[in-house]
Amino acid sequence: MQFEIRIDPERLNRHIRELAQVGTLPEGGISRLALTDADKAGRDLFVSWLEELSLEVRIDQVGNIIGFQPGRGDARPVLIGSHLDTVRAAGPLDGALGVLAGLEILQTLQEQGIHTQRTVAVVTFTNEEGARFTTDMMGSRAFCGELSVEEAWDVSDFEGACVGDELRRIGYAGDFPCGQVKPSAYLELHIEQGPILDKEQVTIGAVEAITGISWQELTITGAANHAGTTPLDARRDAGLAAAKVIQYLRELAKGLPDQRATCGRLSFLPDVINVIPGEATLTVDLRNGDDTVLKKAEQQLAEYLASLVEQENVEISSRMLARVSPSRCDPSVVALIEESARGLGLAHRRMVSGAGHDAQIVARTCPTAMIFIPSKDGISHSLAEYSRPEDIEAGANVLLHTALRLADEGMG
Ligand code: GLV
Ligand code: MN
Ligand code: MN
């Protein structure tokens, strides 16, 4: 009987479509990099939807937006959320799905007159992506006390603008204290962003663990010189050294179990066709679900860089941008997700997330798990990102029923 309650799929998909109009690029795709004007516009739309429901809305000191649907008792709330910021040229679902599904759950509870024991709240965390300010999962780190508010405000983007100033500029430097909300449990619905569910035609992934992530920026210094006249053995070519690092990352990934290694940004100075690059700056993204292996990857990269300094007669400095250990989801919440999927007649399987999520930060403070739905061809962080409306609906219904159980049964 309990499984008869359902979200409104038309409304959820309409909200997704409307938000997807915010930050569209002329060449296609969406760009709502954290704390830009487009991010502000997306936030404003979300807040207007929270206000239409007369929810209590709080904006905290790092710009996390939380809407509360009060429960019958004063026990700690069940929190549902994700993020509204995007990478550059993103699709419509990464992050937005989890936030808008949370909104949909609150609207469903209101419409159906369901009064849960616990408060149910929806959150959008600031700067999950780390695409502009390279401390990823920034809002959830501050929410959980892993990052102080001042540390968050001080982080700068590549042009030198800092989080504190940008929060004030867009009107989202709230005064609600970070750390005031202590959820009893956290749930995040997300697209898988990988190929497994789509390939296996399984609708629901119950996420058991989330990858560890290590981000660093390398600066390679050689010597700018003439491209035509400088003999090969006299070159200190920072560009060549950067290319060797990128090549090495693939070897590193191949040599360790389930290792990922990516260079996503690269720039040269002076960046001119007939000049040997005197400086190269590049980013390295290393990921593994096993922290011991991730540490080994960091170590092997450091050893390779030391050898490259000799080989290419360059200097290399490294700056750590972000580091998060792998997280395990709470087994009892994972089991509740599976029960909800079963109750709704949906095919499901357990899985590990290779993408980073706010859930991996929140998991360290309260019972947490994630629900995945299929991503067509496993594509995301791309304008080709797509999930079928019926899978979106299924995921949101699993989220609803898991939240209902958590809000009424209590988990401490
Ligand atoms: C965020 O989407 C990440 O996995 O980097
Ligand atoms: Mn995401
Ligand atoms: Mn993402």
Measured distance CA(12)–CA(188) in Å, rounded: 16
What ligand has the least distance to the C-alpha of 124? Answer: 2
The tokens for 146 are 């892993």
* Amino acid at the residue 56: E
Measured distance CA(289)–CA(269) in Å, rounded: 35
Measured distance CA(363)–CA(87) in Å, rounded: 23
Atom of ligand 1 nearest to the CA of 193: 2
Atom of ligand 1 nearest to the CA of 380: 2
The answer to whether the beta carbons of residues 138 and 61 sit under 8 Å apart is: no
| 253: enclosing H helix or E strand | helix 238-255
Could you list the mean pLDDT of each consecutive 10-residue stretch along the chain, which spans 412 residues? 88 98 96 98 98 97 98 93 97 98 98 96 98 97 98 96 98 97 98 98 98 98 98 98 98 98 98 98 98 98 98 98 96 98 98 97 98 98 96 98 90 40
The tokens for 223 are 């010597």
Strand, coil or helix: 9 = helix
Angle between helices 37-52 and 9-19 (to 10 degrees): 150
Measured distance CA(351)–CA(81) in Å, rounded: 20
Predicted confidence at residue 411, as pLDDT, reads: 41
Mutate to test the pocket of ligand 1, among 381, 382, 385 (most ligand atoms within 8 A of CB): 381
| 44: enclosing H helix or E strand | helix 37-52
**Any atom of ligand 1 within 6 Å of the Cβ of 355:** yes
Measured distance CA(102)–CA(398) in Å, rounded: 12
Measured distance CA(181)–CA(61) in Å, rounded: 13
Predicted confidence at residue 228, as pLDDT, reads: 98
**Any atom of ligand 1 within 6 Å of the Cβ of 95:** no
Angle between helices 37-52 and 163-170 (to 10 degrees): 50
Measured distance CA(238)–CA(270) in Å, rounded: 11
Give the predicted TM-score (pTM) of the model.
0.94
**How remote is the CA of residue 357 from the centroid of ligand 1, in Å?**
7
> Is the preceding omega at residue 270 within 30 degrees of 0, hence cis?
yes
Measured distance CA(48)–CA(214) in Å, rounded: 36
